[in-house]
Chains A and B, each alone.
Chain A
Amino acid sequence: MTETAVHLEGVSKKYPHFSLEDIHLQLPAGGILGFIGANGAGKSTTIRILMGLVRADRGTVRLMGEPMPERQDVARRDVGFASEDMRLYGPGTLRWHMEFVRSIYPGWDPSYADLLLRRFDLHAEQKIKGLSHGQRVKASLLLMLARRPRLLVLDEPTTGLDPVARQEVLGELMEVLADERRTIFFSSQNTLDVEQISDQIAFIDRGRIVDRGDKESFLDRWRRMRIDVPPGVVLPSLPGIVATAGSGRLSVITTSSYDPAMAAAYQHAGATVHAVDPMTLEEIFVANVMSRREGKVA
């Protein structure tokens, strides 16, 4: 098995109004990376470069151990890709698409395909042009999953789905995760989705990776402290503070490297720490991006 499924090193791509700068990302086989960014942050461009659909101006890209885009045809044999802007052939039925993909991939699993048809409540004889957006997304995922690729690259797969369809899709992805050999590279602007299935996180903003690490470490490190600061008390300057807000005596401090000693230091300075709250991935993402944009190091 390839040790590193995804390898991006120093990847840059310049467009007239957008630049992807010096992207470094590695995803070992078996890992699940949630790639989070706002609209236009560079998620899709990064994924297109990874898949060989767009050529980087600089840097090294390897997919399933193969150099991209030179060996894209070989690398993509073991990669399933679905993106929000990918469409199937409207005049074709889902059955035709299933036969088409089956004819290309020897690993196509017909019983799993039938199972997915039932789980996703899809009808194989229905034409793609008659499907709703949610059904089209599920059809794309069926075509991708039933050939059992070792790496899944998903570019905003849940965008535009209603809550039920989104849960069905995420549920199926979680089933896939039961197979520890599978690797998933999952981009989204929906942090709730990423939080559910990822074990590693990377944040991208304005074409740059602003932070990355394992999910638990993010959730452990980031805290929001609510502190009562009496008049005349000056809070000590501590490392890892990314935002300070509040009014009057109440301060809300966001830190990217929480340590219980921080609370003790504030108490020692004369302040009262009322609460140390964990943060959701969305709050961490927003705080992280905003602090980077303001020039603070998170």
Chain B
Amino acid sequence: MNAHMIKHLVLKDWYFQRRPIAAYTAGGLLGLGVVALGTGWSFYAGTVLLITFMITIGIHLAIVTVVQERTEHTLPFLMTLPISPKEYTAAKVLANLSIFLVPWGLLTGGAALLLSSEGARSGALLPFATVALTYILASYVLVLAVAIVTESQGWTLCAMGVTNLFLQFFLYWVSHMPSIERGMKGRGAVWDPTVLALLGAELAAIAVLLGLAFVFQARKRDFL
């Protein structure tokens, strides 16, 4: 692996995405601010804002940094640099994950702080929120993997639609799991085996999706 080339490609994506990502992150922070108002309606409105901006960041990154490399014809510029397809994939994965994880970490950390407060029953919702926000991270990785492998706006949007649709079912399913439901109604964060198993499954899915992206990319015959 040519770490020097990968570094420059990662920095390139950071450079071009810094402003839109900052704007989306500000939107997510606004969502957290609304949640912090502490009323019933503000909790739901703020949560919707937070989730919407997180999902938007992922869509933006996958479309702009991966799909548009092809549709805007900048891919030939990159692929004629001294880089192998595997290094290109590594650069795209690293750039995307590092860019996404900054606002995701910031917003997830902010949400954790808010949910840990006394007014929010000292973190009763924290395990559920962590599972939900990790689902968004895993969804983003799926969208990214589809974007890298297909380089198609249609397939990427399709993956995004499926993950967003499934989010509602997932949240409903998880929130009605007996142990999680009990935890959400109590006080303090309960990290029981169900929560840990869900988080473990999400992290495993992320690892598998990234691995599959490399496998499919290695089998590609054409890059233009």
Residues of A within 8 A of B (CB): 48, 51-55, 72-74, 76-77, 79, 81, 83, 85-92, 96, 100, 103-104, 140
Contacts and interface: CB of A to CB of B under 8 A. Distances in A.
Contacts of A100: 8, 12
Contacts of B87: 73
A83 B77 CA distance: 9
Nearest to B76: A86
Nearest to B86: A73
Given A53-B224, A54-B223, A89-B16, A79 B80 contact: yes
Contacts of A55: 221-222
A156 B164 CA distance: 44
A104 B8 contact: yes
B82 interface: yes
A281 B108 CA distance: 67
Contacts of A91: 16
A77 B82 contact: yes
Contacts of B2: 73
A184 to B, nearest CB: 15
Contact of A72 (B16, B84, B221): B84
A54 B74 contact: no
Interface residues of B, number: 23
A103 B81 CA distance: 12
Interface string B69-112: 00011101101111110010000000000000000000000000
Contacts of B12: 89, 100
Contacts, number: 66
Contacts of A96: 15
A73 B83 contact: yes
B82 A76 contact: yes
B76 A85 contact: yes
A77 B81 CA distance: 7
B174 interface: no
B199 interface: no
Contact of A87 (B15, B74, B222, B224): B74
Nearest to B88: A73
A90 B77 CA distance: 13
Contacts of B48: none
Nearest to B19: A91
A108 to B, nearest CB: 13
B210 interface: no
Contacts of B4: 104
B198 interface: no
Nearest to A54: B222
A88 B76 contact: no
Given A73-B84, A77-B82, A87 B223 contact: no
A100 B223 CA distance: 22
B77 A86 contact: yes
B30 interface: no
Contacts of A76: 80-83
A104 B172 CA distance: 49
Nearest to A15: B222
A92 B81 CA distance: 18
A105 to B, nearest CB: 8
B129 interface: no
